[in-house]
Structure formats: structure tokens, C-alpha cells
């Protein structure tokens, strides 16, 4: 059974940076697309970034140029480097594994989820 465990969240000032990590265990990591979602209070969950098994990436318009998703298949770990953080980036961030190899924004194709890590951007 695949387990995903996020870490790296915290409180950061506007303009600051954080790197989130998602450690996977219990299943082969490299075969599937992976994604980072976030959900703020009172808002719908949204896909922030995704990476296909081959390394192709895509991003939500709101984070393009500021966030970078990457994966280290040897370490079974997914990363999200976040820079130039804004208060509107405040949310719980979740990593998720897709049941497919290719990039997808369909949340119903993400079949395993981590427990989430809180990111708060505030002065």
C-alpha cells in the first residue's frame, strides 16, 4: 500500500521561500505522474503543479514562475520549491499520486493522497 508523507510546511513572510517534500513508500514511485494540490479554508482544492513519470511538468497560472515541481525517483520523493510566496498561497498542501503516467489535472485520477502540510504566508 502506497504511503505519501509531506513535510516542509510552515510560516513564512511574503516574498519568502519554502521547499515541500513528499516521501513515498510501499509502491514503485517512478511509474506514475505526481501532483501537488492545495486547499485554502472555504475554497476548493486546486492542482498547483504536476509532473509526469518522464519529467514533463505543468503549473497553475497562479504559481507559474514561482513554484517548481521535481521528483527524485531514486529517493521516491516529490518536491515543490516555492519562491516569492504570497499571502494567497496560504493553504494546506497535499501531494498525490496519479493512476496514470501522463500529466493530468483530473483529481479523480489521483488515487493516493498524503495527509497534507500547512503553509502560511504572513507578516
Mean pLDDT of 4-11: 97
Chain segment 12-29, per-residue pLDDT in tens: 999 999 999 999 987 776
Are the C-beta atoms of residues 59 and 67 closer than 8 Å to each other? yes
Predicted local confidence at residue 24, as pLDDT: 93
Predicted local confidence at residue 47, as pLDDT: 97
Measure the CA–CA gap between 58 and 48, rounded to whole angstroms. Answer: 9
Chain segment 74-115, per-residue pLDDT in tens: 899 999 999 999 999 999 999 999 999 899 989 999 999 999
Chain segment 40-81, per-residue pLDDT in tens: 999 999 999 999 988 899 999 999 999 999 999 889 999 999
Amino acid at each position: 500500500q502506497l504511503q505519501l508523507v509531506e513535510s516542509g510546511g510552515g510560516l513564512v513572510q511574503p516574498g519568502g521561500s519554502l521547499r515541500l517534500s513528499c516521501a513515498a513508500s510501499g509502491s514503485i514511485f517512478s511509474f506514475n505522474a505526481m501532483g501537488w494540490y492545495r486547499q485554502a479554508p472555504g475554497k476548493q482544492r486546486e492542482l498547483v503543479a504536476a509532473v509526469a513519470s518522464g519529467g514533463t511538468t505543468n503549473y497553475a497560472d497562479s504559481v507559474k514562475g514561482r513554484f517548481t515541481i521535481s521528483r527524485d525517483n531514486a529517493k521516491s520523493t516529490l518536491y515543490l520549491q516555492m519562491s516569492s510566496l504570497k499571502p494567497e498561497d496560504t493553504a494546506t498542501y497535499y501531494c498525490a499520486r496519479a493512476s496514470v503516467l501522463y500529466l493530468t489535472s483530473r483529481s479523480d485520477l489521483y488515487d493516493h493522497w498524503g495527509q497534507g502540510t500547512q503553509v502560511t504566508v504572513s507578516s
